[in-house]
Amino acid sequence: MNMQALLKQAQKMQKDLAKVESELNEKEYEATMGGGVVKVAVKGMQVESIQIDETLLDKDGKEDLEEMLKAALNDAFNQAVEDKEKTMNAITGGVKMPGGF
């Protein structure tokens, strides 16, 4: 393979990676905790929504609510990161790309 063809292939891969990264940043991931009394949604690395069942809105449940929110948010963000890594690895064949890809 000549250098020009290799350069074209690298440029195409970079363009494909940018497109996929943009699509992944628009994808929404959801997680629930406590049997569904806490539900969160994230898109990219931003929280999109938090839903809390009214039964948790008392002073005695404050610590439980905080823990469920933390766990649900971590779960949703982990889903997003794992999906991005899996998708990017499929494109690059597991080769780490510069520039945050």
Digit-coded pLDDT (tens) for 24-53: 888 999 999 989 889 999 998 889 999 988
Q: Is residue 6 part of a domain?
A: no
Domain extent for 43: 39-92
Q: Enter the DSSP assignment of 94.
A: T
25 lies in some domain: no
Please tell me the total count of domains within the chain.
1
The answer to the question of residue 86 being in a domain is yes
**3-class DSSP assignment, residue 40:** strand
Look at residue 17 and tell me if it is in a domain: no
pTM of the shown model: 0.71
Domain for residue 88, yes or no? yes
Judged on CB neighbours under 10 Å (0-12, 13-18, 19+), 64 is middle
Q: 61 in a domain, yes or no?
A: yes
Is residue 85 within 8 A of residue 96, CB to CB? The reply is no
pLDDT bucket at 100, cuts 50 / 70 / 90: low
17 within 8 A of 88, measured Cβ to Cβ = yes
